[in-house]
Amino acid sequence: MLLGTVCEEIMTNIAVKIENISKVYKLYNRPIDRLKESLNPFSLKYHQDFFALNNVSFDIQKGESVGIIGKNGSGKSTLLKIITGVLTPTSGTVTVKGRIAALLELGAGFNPEYTGIENIYLQGSIMGVDRLEMEEKIPEILDFADIGEFIHQPVKNYSSGMFVRLAFAVSTIVEPDILIVDEALAVGDVFFRQKCFDRMEYLRRNDTSIIMVTHSMNEIRQYCNRALLLNQGRTLFWGSADEAVQHYFFLDNTMDNFKNGLKVDEKGNNGRLENNSWSRTKIDWPSNPNAFYALPRESEVINNGAICTSVALCNSNREPSRMFVQGETGIFYYEFELSQDADVPIGGILLFNDKNILIHGKNSLQYDIEAPERIRKGAKVRFKQEITLAIAPGEYTFSLGFSTIAKDVFLRRNELHYIMLDENRTNLCYVGKVGSFFISACLGNSITEIPFHGLADLPGDIVIDAK
């Protein structure tokens, strides 16, 4: 009986329940096929079924904030449209308890010819709020939207930022039971976005459930309790937001063709090295296939005497990882195979932010470590590079370079100008955009837990004096 009571309580706390939802579109190669199919007396099929959603189930509790994530075309918008009732599923059931406010496509539900004020009343009536109640809310809506005199202009004259300000203000001030926020907020400026997140937090504390679709994994981590990861219409993961984000970054970023060739030789390879003062350090190469990236397309690769054979990224526990908290250490493993003899090998990494700005680049020469003096054709050279990722939250890509330098130049590396060193270096391989990883913000509350502001943490110190 106790179990029954618990179940009932769980059910009464559920705001949205999605059970085995599928959405199938019929795809016809030619428009005429549709006609042929409808007129065919033998019910012959002229289409292919395309599953935009395939058997998706999950539920959202009252006051819970849930993220829906996935690459482009994975089915996120289709799912939101089914929850809001804009689309009907092909199969499965949707249970929604309470009033939904949805900020889906910008301007949906707004009449472009109406002024901002007129649209506020229109939205109110769509959401079932009467004119009198809406009138009381107007000062608060205007205050939140903060678009000044534009509120008396037809909304067709609004910028996308103004639009989203008004839309968000209207949908949240009537305190919905379920608030759905698509990428729409992305067009607002940072101050407005902060205001929106504060408002969502307030609503959530008052039992509004929030469904958020965004490509910003920081927002998912920061604001969602749980997240659903979709891939080609199927649920790939449903659970804690942190874990969902980790899985998201492994999508397309993991070497699923690992079995098909690029196996890691656990014994390492040093049989073809000539001896010198360098004493070999055996790298503890990762054994988990998930650590490895699929190597990029040919267009990103320049092979000039060597090929890149594998690349992996792990956290400091040597576990595969694509998500790091600011300041955590990332361990990059990479291997090149020589297709010609070479002198002293040099390997290095370049990290780029989402605006393609080089944030950090460093090679083995700059670390001033010993290296083999000569490597023969067929040898495999491995690097393990640890980087303290004290960089701004966001998504990053990285590229790899492999080059060689003559032994005598290498031995004088600390006496020579770096231009001399560069001139004596021969590039063997460059692999652009090998993969991506993600840096998440520290979620601490105190200032000392926020390590720095800006793009990167720079080594430094501070003292204070006062007289």
Ligand X SMILES: Nc1ncnc2c1ncn2[C@@H]1O[C@H](COP(=O)(O)OP(=O)(O)OP(=O)(O)O)[C@@H](O)[C@H]1O
Q: Which of 20, 25, 91, 113 binds ligand X (CB under 6 A)?
A: 25
> Is residue 76 at the binding interface for ligand X, with CB under 6 A as the rule?
yes
> Is residue 445 at the binding interface for ligand X, with CB under 6 A as the rule?
no
Q: Nearest distance from residue 383's CB to ligand X, in Å? A: 35
> Is residue 75 at the binding interface for ligand X, with CB under 6 A as the rule?
yes
Token pair of 42, please? 């033998």
What order do you get walking across the sheet with 91-96 strand by strand?
A: 48-61, 14-27, 91-96
Nearer to ligand X, 213 or 308 (CB): 213
Token pair of 340, please? 């010609």
Q: Nearest distance from residue 47's CB to ligand X, in Å? A: 11
Nearer to ligand X, 12 or 72 (CB): 72
Q: Nearest distance from residue 230's CB to ligand X, in Å? A: 7
Q: Nearest distance from residue 76's CB to ligand X, in Å? A: 4
> Is residue 186 at the binding interface for ligand X, with CB under 6 A as the rule?
no
Q: Give me the half-sphere count of Cα atoms (radius 13 Å) on the Cβ side of residue 41.
A: 0
Q: Which of 16, 18, 52, 101 binds ligand X (CB under 6 A)?
A: 52
Number of chain positions touching ligand X (CB under 6 A): 11
Among 423, 71, 446, 82, smallest CA distance to 250 is for: 71
Cα separation of 303 and 290, whole Å? 25
Q: Which runs of E-coded beta strand occur in 342-451?
A: 344-352, 358-363, 380-388, 394-405, 425-440
> Is residue 77 at the binding interface for ligand X, with CB under 6 A as the rule?
yes
Q: Nearest distance from residue 220's CB to ligand X, in Å? A: 14
> 3-state class of 52 per DSSP?
strand
Instruction: Look at the block and give the residue holding tokens 């361990």.
Output: 331
CB 407 within 8 A of CB 426: no
Phi and psi at residue 224, in whole multiples of 5°? -110, 145
Nearer to ligand X, 76 or 382 (CB): 76
> Is residue 296 at the binding interface for ligand X, with CB under 6 A as the rule?
no
Nearer to ligand X, 233 or 372 (CB): 233
> Is residue 239 at the binding interface for ligand X, with CB under 6 A as the rule?
no
Judged by phi (left if over 0) then psi (alpha if -120 to 50, else beta), residue 376 lies in beta
Q: Which of 78, 209, 216, 363 binds ligand X (CB under 6 A)?
A: 78
Cα separation of 124 and 118, whole Å? 10
Q: Which runs of E-coded beta strand occur in 81-185?
A: 91-96, 100-103, 178-181
Nearer to ligand X, 37 or 457 (CB): 37
Residues numbered 54 to 73 that lie near ligand X (CB under 6 A) are 70, 72-73
Cα separation of 239 and 233, whole Å? 17
Q: Nearest distance from residue 252's CB to ligand X, in Å? A: 14
Q: Nearest distance from residue 218's CB to ligand X, in Å? A: 17
Binding site for ligand X (CB under 6 A): 25, 50, 52, 70, 72-78
